[in-house]
A and B are shown apart, each in its own frame.
Chain A
Amino acid sequence: KNEVEQSPQNLTAQEGEFITINCSYSVGISALHWLQQHPGGGIVSLFMLSSGKKKHGRLIATINIQEKHSSLHITASHPRDSAVYICAVGWWGKLTFGTGTRLTIIP
């Protein structure tokens, strides 16, 4: 069993829909990261959180430490949100990654 599990693996939605991507982990962490990887491979850090909830624009990330679960939400999704979203858990900088969720937003 992977230490970091993401669901769904693939998600296709219509523009404007509310998107939720889930992440569960089984190890101790100092922080959880949500990353966005575009087709060329480059990675952008979206959030780093160790408790509660963070919001940046249309993106919201939540984490429940007791349940070892995090969610990434995208409101009013747009085709430019199409990418692979990766959950990673960190122990003082060293990251373990989930397999990613490939999101496709159709206009």
Chain B
Amino acid sequence: GAVVSQHPSWVICKSGTSVKIECRSLDFQATTMFWYRQFPKQSLMLMATSNEGSKATYEQGVEKDKFLINHASLTLSTLTVTSAHPEDSSFYICSAKVPSNQPQHFGDGTRLSIL
């Protein structure tokens, strides 16, 4: 079946660093991918919708200049956390939307820790 690969799975870095997370659809083309964030003991929250070839759509309260999303091809979307700070430490997960009435496919997530 369809698989979504997310990389890296775990990142620890210093405050002020920028971190890039990749989300790839391995055996299908995904015109739309979604980026979510999950803080400890909280629900997943949609951050943004990534559309191939166009600008991402951000949810209210998510800073587009801080969380840069690029969806340059039908199989790859990237999320870059710029100048990360400890409060950005979270679990980030992507999903890819497949055509018509099929469930989204999720990546395995990236656990980001900013020191």
Closest partner residue, chain B, to A100 (CB atom):
B43
Are A86's CB and B44's CB within 8 A?
yes
- Give chain A nearest CB distance to B109 CB in angstroms: 4
| Chain B 72-115 interface mask (CB, 8 Å, partner A; 1/0) | 00000000000000000001010101000111111111010000
- Give chain B nearest CB distance to A6 CB in angstroms: 9
Give the secondary structure class of B's interface.
strand
> Could you name 29 residue pairs across A and B whose Cβ atoms are closer than 8 Å?
A31-B101, A33-B103, A35-B106, A40-B108, A40-B109, A41-B38, A41-B93, A42-B106, A42-B107, A42-B108, A42-B109, A43-B95, A43-B106, A44-B106, A45-B103, A48-B102, A48-B103, A86-B43, A86-B44, A88-B44, A93-B97, A94-B34, A94-B49, A95-B34, A95-B44, A95-B46, A95-B104, A97-B43, A99-B42
C-alpha spacing A99/B44, complex, angstroms = 8
Say yes or no: A99-B104 contact (C-beta < 8 A), given A41-B93, A43-B109, A93-B32. no
Find A93's partner among B34, B43, B109 (CB 8 Å cutoff): B34
Are A41's CB and B104's CB within 8 A?
no
Contacts of A50 in B (CB 8 A): 101
C-alpha spacing A50/B36, complex, angstroms = 23
C-alpha spacing A43/B96, complex, angstroms = 12
Q: Does B45 contact A (CB under 8 A)?
A: yes
Closest partner residue, chain B, to A42 (CB atom):
B108
Contacts of A22 in B (CB 8 A): none
Among all A-B residue pairs, the 9 with the closest Cβ atoms: A45-B103, A42-B108, A43-B106, A48-B103, A41-B109, A97-B44, A97-B43, A93-B97, A99-B43
C-alpha spacing A41/B109, complex, angstroms = 6
6 other A-B residue contacts (CB within 8 Å) besides A48-B103, A86-B43: A43-B93, A43-B106, A43-B109, A44-B106, A95-B104, A97-B43
